Amino acid sequence: MITFICTTCGTSYPPSDTPPARCPICEDERQYVPASGQSWTTPHQLQTHHTNAWRQHEKGLFSLHTTPAFAIDQRAFLLQTAAGNILWDCIALIDDATVELVGALGGLSAIAISHPHYYTRMQDWSRAFGGPPIYLHAADQQYIMRPTPEIHLWEGDTLEIASGVTLIRLGGHFAGGTVLHWACTEDGAGALLSGDIVQVASDVRRVSFLWSYPNMMPLPARAVLRIGEALTPWSFDRIYGAFLSKEVPRDAKQVVAGSVRRYVELLNG
Ligand SMILES: [Zn+2]
Ligand SMILES: [Zn+2]
């Protein structure tokens, strides 16, 4: 039995002898099946041809990114807190080196994921570190392709998973679209780990919001205004997005407010 992994989105499926017939995550209008057709890989093939690269962004915050690029090519973050390490978002490659290095940093006490495109191999990540809870918003429950007892579905708009570490449900790209607010940065200014729920743009003084990134489909104005309102009470100076080098380095509150305003202006003509 093999855990097959979709090569376009990185989602893993329950172990089987033959690959699944289809990937519902890629057949959703927010993703795509390539013109060449659906294809699959396995954990063994993935760890033979790829590796995870690390960066430290500031004290207590590392990112891991698979190289050469695989599937959606997002990165995951390891956040060090007094209550243990939190994995924010997830990637499909977990190899022996990654297990050894994360273990040396103290393992994982929790996993939290912004939305279904990054669920990937959350089940294997949790099991490799003794089964810490995986926090997913209940509104996206139907996109869990490989249920596991470690998944903890949460409801409502916020959930504090460790002191000063809060999940905020913003919706938008997915109904349960979540960002992580980290209050206890060393300088006390706070940071937002945003996945692609708040997407850091090429001009890192801008963020944007879409229903589908690969298919370039916008969100309605009310959804973008709601995201802006939901972030208003929270203090943060920086945003770390899902992709390599996509970071708003300062004044991130003003960047979000200005980007929301401009987005709605453009939608409304
Ligand atoms: Zn897929
Ligand atoms: Zn996405």
CA distance 193 to 146: 25
**What mean pLDDT value characterizes the chain?**
98
- Residues 207-231: what's their mean pLDDT? 98
Check residue 125 and give its pLDDT: 98
Q: How far is CA 74 from the centre of its chain?
A: 7
- Residues 35-47: what's their mean pLDDT? 98
Residue whose C-alpha is closest to residue 216's, from 36, 24, 31: 31
Centre of ligand 1 from the C-alpha of residue 100, in Å: 28
Centre of ligand 1 from the C-alpha of residue 149, in Å: 22
Residues 6 or more apart whose CB falls under 8 angstroms from that of 203 comprise none
Instruction: Convert the pLDDT of each residue in 122-161 to its tens digit.
Output: 999 999 999 999 999 999 999 999 999 999 999 999 999 9
Check residue 11 and give its pLDDT: 98
Per-residue confidence at 4, pLDDT binned at 50, 70, 90?
very high
- Residues 255-266: what's their mean pLDDT? 98
Centre of ligand 1 from the C-alpha of residue 85, in Å: 28
Check residue 119 and give its pLDDT: 99
Centre of ligand 1 from the C-alpha of residue 196, in Å: 17
From start to end of the chain, where are the E strands? 5-6, 40-41, 51-58, 61-67, 76-81, 84-88, 110-112, 134-137, 151-154, 158-162, 165-169, 178-182, 191-195, 199-200, 207-208, 210-212, 217-218, 238-241, 247-248
Q: Who surrounds ion ligand 1 at CB < 5 A?
A: 6, 8-9, 11, 23, 25-26
Q: What angle do helix axes 252-267 and 221-231 make, rounded to 10 degrees?
A: 160
Centre of ligand 2 from the C-alpha of residue 156, in Å: 21
Q: Who surrounds ion ligand 2 at CB < 5 A?
A: 117, 196
- Residues 13-29: what's their mean pLDDT? 98
The vertex-223 CA angle with 218 and 225, nearest 5°, equals 110
Q: How far is CA 218 from the centre of its chain?
A: 19
